[in-house]
Amino acid sequence: MDLDLWWLLVIPVAFAFGWVAARYDLKTLLSESANLPRSYFRGLNFLLNEQPDQAIDAFIEVVKLDPETIELHFALGNLFRRRGETDRAIRVHQNLLNRADLPVTERDHALYELGQDFLKAGLLDRAEETFKALQSGDYALGAQRALLTIYQIERDWNKSIDTARRLESMGVESLDKEIGHFHCELAQEALQQKKPDEARRQLDLALKAHPQNVRATILFGDVDAAAGDHDKAIAQWRHVEEQNPAYLPLVAEKVMKAYEALGRQNEGADLLTTWVDGYPSNDLLDVAYQYVSALRGPEAAHALARTQMQKSPNLAGMTRLLEAQQAVAEEPRRSELELMRTLIRQRTKNLPRYTCQNCGFRARLFYWQCPGCSGWETYAPRRVEPITASS
């Protein structure tokens, strides 16, 4: 009984304390609101009524009257940038930088945000100039990362290499893989300009930065093939099997053309058949099937396609098998097989071939750098069939 009476006393006391606290918070809020400039509320009103330019003018006046509202400017600028209104974001952040009394830390912050505005707007030269002004301080690392992005967009690979090394000196994770690809890009440019010595120099640097860089090995073969040294080119491309056999489909056609140039097509066909048996792949099968059929006849090509379908059944392989069966069949069986092959080909012709393992971007061509997320070496060089049971 005493316990029940005690609880009856506690409840009204707790209610009274809550009421007092609420009144205190309300008074505090009203007091703080009264101290805010009227421009603050006018700005909010403009923003709510979809009048962003008038809102910016009002908030600029707020900062002039009350420096403590600097964070409001940053929030507003970021909001405009996320909405794609980069011209308004630029105006907000430039207004902050025009303040003579802005602390150094806040000035660096405003510079960094302004650089991001320029980058989002595609004004790369102005973004570069802004980020280069942040050589030290809390935003130096972010500025260097942004500069690396800019130089890659501009395909300025020498500046990309320098910036990547600078980032590593600032303590970020190793960028050896990216630096290797930057050297490969320079090698490709040299190869297109018919400067084989410069191409080889860049490829040596690529492998020095990242010894498992398959792309550099492939390009070394391209340089040798361009110079007419097909034996050396074949040796380079065969080395891909030791580095990463998943990339063999990228050199299969190159290898066969080199063997053809040497008059040793059968040796090349044997090599491709060995690769197809050891590393089943639709891309490898396509190249091997083409040459085996031409060199050894439809029966040999049919046996190759059938064996691969038993190892790794898929729609693309089925198309190739039906083609092989059609080549050795007689009417009316041949017409039936042609109908089946046509139906499957129509179902698979628009399937994306490659998928970025980082962002999921799909493409019919293989890329060393993903067009979606700009990641390097994120595409597995293998065709995919994103087909579910429901489809």
**In sequence order, which residues have a C-beta less than 8 Å from that of residue 119 and are 6 or more positions away?**
127, 146, 149, 150
290 vs 72: CA distance, rounded Å: 66
Task: Name which of 171, 182, 223 is nearest 206 in CA terms.
Answer: 182
**Is 356 part of any known ligand binding site?**
yes
115 vs 390: CA distance, rounded Å: 47
DSSP, residue by residue, 298-365:
HHHHHHHHHHHHHHS--HHHHHHHHHHHHHH--TTHHHHHHHHHHHHHHHHTTS-SEEBTTT--EESS
DSSP, residue by residue, 36-103:
S-HHHHHHHHHHHTT-HHHHHHHHHHHHHH-GGGHHHHHHHHHHHHHTT-HHHHHHHHHHHHT-TT--
**In sequence order, which residues have a C-beta less than 8 Å from that of residue 169 and are 6 or more positions away?**
none
In angstroms, the first-to-last Cα distance of the chain is: 70
- Phi/psi for 291 (5° steps) reads -80, -35
21 vs 3: CA distance, rounded Å: 27
Query: Assign residue 380 a region: left if phi > 0, alpha if psi is -120 to 50, beta otherwise?
Result: beta
339 vs 322: CA distance, rounded Å: 10
Q: Degrees (nearest 5) of the Cα angle 242, 246, 247?
A: 80
348 vs 194: CA distance, rounded Å: 39
Asked whether 374 and 160 are in contact (CB, 8 A), the reply is no
**Is 184 part of any known ligand binding site?**
no
What token pair was written down for 390? 């429901």
4 vs 9: CA distance, rounded Å: 9
Asked whether 90 and 76 are in contact (CB, 8 A), the reply is no
Binding-site members for Fe cation are: 356, 359, 370, 373
Binding-site members are: 356, 359, 370, 373
